[in-house]
Chain A
Amino acid sequence: MKIKGLILPIAAGLCAVYAAVSIAQTQPERILTEPPQPPPRSNFAHSIAAVGLIEPSSESITIGSHRSGVVTEVNVRAGDKVTKGQILFALDQRDLAASRNVSLARIAQSTAEIGSTKALLDQAKRRLDSANALKDPRALSAEERADRASEVTRLDAQLATSEAAIALAKAELESVETEITRSSVTSPIDATVLQVRLRKGEFIDGGASGEPRLVVGLVEPLHIRADIDEFEIARLKSGAEAIATPRGDAERRFELEFVRYEPLVIPKRSLTGDSTERVDTRILQAIYRVKSPDSTLFVGQQMDVFIESNPRSSKS
């Protein structure tokens, strides 16, 4: 009887324990955890945040070609340091070599022609002189005399023609040689080769429509191009400090030194590269120099930039 009377209280007690434990365990958590990887943080009291892209201090130079043609040699690899005037790659020049030979042959031909014309001219002059030297004019007919004079004039003209032909051939040679020089593309500055998308045997289009195949730039020092929202422009202050952190490693901070602003505010170029992108923001670009870059910074890398700024006015 005693035990029977206790069944209900004991069962209820167990129920209470079960309910309490379950309720305690299943309440939703509202914990605040640290991100698995640290996100970028500003270290200024007031700052303007921007997205920056690392670029060479010379900006990226996409090397173009004047001529179209097949590449016969590529002298550089990505990462090579090149000096101003160093040949980067060369196009096929056999057609130009042939034209050059033609020009040289023309010069030789014209030179030979001048030689023979000069000899004939000498002879004609002598015959005219001897005719003029005759004391008795009746010794030669008037016609013969006139023939000898016009022969000299004719040969003079022929000589001038040959000389002009030489000048023309030389000019042609010069032009062919210019084309030959232009077939070897050289570096415009002392720089580092950043990209080579060009291999021996490939055809490249010259002129403005040509696709850039080779990129060079001066990577010492490195610059960062920071995109600042137009709404933040008012808060920029001169002489402000700035830092940049690489994506994926926000713990490392690189100090920046201000170089200049791009004077033109432009529509934001989205980095998603989607063709359906519509622009809704305009940005000011600020150029900074990375004070002490290390080997982990690469051109084209995205950085989160923080620029020390004026506080937001309390009215806004």
Chain B
Amino acid sequence: MIALALKMLRHDGAKFLTMVLAVALAAFLTQNQASFLVAFLGMTGSQIRDVREANLWVMEPDTECFDQAKPLKETAVQTVRGFPGVEWALPFLKVDTTARTESGKLSTITLIGVPEQSRIGEPAMKLGDASGIYQRDSAVIDPGGMALLYPGRKFQPGMKIRVHDEWLELRGVSEASPPFTGFPIVHVSQATAMRLNREETRSTTFVVGRLSAGADAAEVTERIRKATGWKALTRKEFEATSWKFYSDQGVPNLFYITITVGLIVGIAFTGQTFLMFVKENARAFTTLKVLGFTHPQLAAMMAAQSCLVVVLGLSIGTAMVVATTELAKTLPFFRGLYLPWEVTAVCCGIIGVVTVLAAGLSFRQVLQLQPADVFRS
């Protein structure tokens, strides 16, 4: 019986293909835009995630994301160290400044001072060695920075960038996660970063630390907040705060519109195609009815048909999203793109539900069919 249902599908290969492609297209449209949005908003936490050793971030109370942070006073790190439940704490210095290359290309950059003391937040390297960070007047740049400052050129040892009035020699290309701002991420030693920190008088942008094993994160952060007035967040909370801060802005709002449009188009497309299919096969179903097939049997047949179409369509559509994402990822600025599994799950779920609903609606027509309909039209 199920085999018969599948045969019905196979019989009209072109229509079958159209339906599968319709579902695939709907899956592609929805997942593509949603994954771009999620990946871009995820980049707001790139620099937070890159400090792989820390799960506690302390900052001034109004700091909402990594990029806009007012530095803390110098002794803040000592204060945080003094709280029970804090395993260790270190100062983290981020400097927003501008850099220019030897040929005069100019860009705003984010300088990150890696503490020599424990080397937390040291980036993984694509080219060269991370120890280059700690050498005098040296830095390590991310692929996005290479693309911005040296468009079309490959990294060569001896390349230099000028920050304020000092030349920094580039010792390698890091694999720093792409920042939301799109500015180059340049890693230097904390001493170098302090020297180049001309805009601010304070040099502790954040205090980063690790909660003791077994400590209650909520209790420790609350204690720090109450005693000092600073904002203390776990890594996850800080990522979420950054995400929220940026997701309320203009560009993400445009994305929401695109995603909604994609969803509507996808849903309409799938539902429509399936309704059409049932309509066109009305004759076949009537014949089956004449032959004595019961309604539950017909329902099972339609369920099998719709499931097959949905599964095939979603597989192809998701693969299309993955392929475009991987293609886009080869560009330095899009290297942070990825397809979150949550997006796939939600989009595929919605499309699946809609298809089944459409199938249900179509089945109502099948119910109303009379054997006499075979001779009509």
The count of A-to-B residue pairs whose CB atoms sit within 8 angstroms is 155
Find out whether the CB atom of B319 lies under 8 angstroms from the CB atom of A19: yes
Asked whether any CB of chain B lies closer than 8 Å to the CB of A130, the reply is no
- Segment from A9-17, A62-70, A78-86 that makes contact with B: A9-17
A94 within 8 Å of B (CB atoms) = no
Return B266 CB to nearest CB of chain A, in Å.
Answer: 17
What residues on A are CB-neighbors of B318 within 8 Å? 15-16, 19, 23
Instruction: Give the distance in Å from the alpha carbon of A23 to the alpha carbon of B314 in the complex.
Output: 14
Whether A26 lies near B75 (C-beta < 8 A) is no
CB-based nearest B residue for A38: B118
Q: List 25 A-B contacts (CB under 8 A).
A: A13-B315, A19-B319, A19-B321, A27-B338, A27-B341, A28-B177, A30-B49, A30-B235, A31-B52, A35-B53, A35-B118, A36-B118, A39-B90, A39-B118, A46-B84, A48-B82, A49-B79, A49-B81, A232-B79, A250-B117, A274-B194, A278-B201, A306-B81, A309-B82, A312-B223
- B158-199 CB contact bits vs A (8 Å, 1 = yes)? 000000000000000000010000000000000000110010
Contact between B118 and A37 (Cβ–Cβ < 8 Å)?
yes
Q: Which 8 A-B pairs have the closest CB atoms?
A: A15-B319, A49-B81, A16-B315, A12-B312, A39-B88, A39-B118, A49-B78, A229-B75
A5 within 8 A of B: yes
Cβ 8 A contact of A28, one of B80, B322, B325, B338:
B338
Asked whether B88 lies within 8 Å of A41 as measured between CB atoms, the reply is yes
* A50 adjacent to chain B (CB < 8 Å): yes
List residues 282-306 of chain A with CB under 8 A from any CB of chain B. 283, 304, 306
Most buried by B among A39, A228, A316: A39
Of A23, A33, A48, A250, which contacts B344 at CB under 8 A? A23
The CB with the most chain A CB atoms within 10 A, among B20, B74, B84, B201, is that of B74
Residue of B117, B122, B341 most packed against chain A (CB within 10 A)? B117
Q: A139 within 8 Å of B by Cβ?
A: no
Interface residues of B in 84-125 (CB under 8 A from A): 84, 87-90, 116-120, 122
Hey, which chain B residues are within 8 Å of A231, CB to CB?
79
Partner of B227, one of A5, A39, A248, A312: A312
Q: Quick one: which of A30, A34, A39, A268 contacts B74, CB cutoff 8 A?
A: A268
Give the CA-CA distance A178 to B87 in the complex, in Å: 61
A23-B52 in contact (CB<8A):
no
B-side contacts of A18, CB under 8 Å: 319, 322-323
- Tell me the B residues contacting A by CB distance below 8 Å: 10, 13, 16-17, 20, 42, 49, 52-53, 55, 73-75, 77-84, 87-90, 116-120, 122, 177, 194-195, 198, 201-203, 210, 223, 226-227, 235-236, 308, 311-313, 315-316, 318-323, 325-326, 338-341, 344
Partner of A248, one of B117, B210, B315, B338: B117
Let me know if A283 and B75 touch, CB within 8 A.
yes
List chain B residues, Cβ under 8 A from A209: none
B78 contacts which of A19, A26, A229 (Cβ < 8 Å)?
A229
B315 in contact with A15 (CB, 8 Å) = yes
**Chain A residues, Cβ within 8 Å of B77:** 49
Q: Complex formed: what's the CA distance from A316 to B236 in Å?
A: 26
Within 8 Å of chain B (Cβ to Cβ): is A47? yes
- CB nearest to B86 among chain A residues: A42
Contact of A232 among B82, B203, B325, B326 (CB under 8 A): B82
Q: Counting chain B CB atoms within 10 Å of each CB, which of A9, A26, A47, A304 scores highest? A: A26
Q: Find A16's partner among B42, B223, B235, B319 (CB 8 Å cutoff).
A: B319
Complex interface residues of chain A between 243 and 295 (CB less than 8 A to chain B): 247-248, 250, 268, 270, 272, 274, 276-278, 280-281, 283
Q: Which chain B residue shows the least CB distance to A271? A: B74
Q: Which residues of A contact B313 (CB under 8 A)?
A: 12
Minimum C-beta distance from A275 to chain B (A): 11
Nearest CB of A to B350, in Å: 17
Q: Is the CB of B73 within 8 A of A35?
A: no
Q: A32 and B53 in contact (CB under 8 A), knowing A22-B322, A22-B339, A26-B338?
A: yes
Q: How far is the CA of A41 from the CA of B49 in the complex (A)?
A: 22
Interface positions of A from 121 to 152, Cβ below 8 Å from B: none
A316 touching B227, Cβ below 8 Å: yes
From B53, B77, B78, B323, name the one whose CB has the most chain A CB atoms within 10 angstroms.
B78
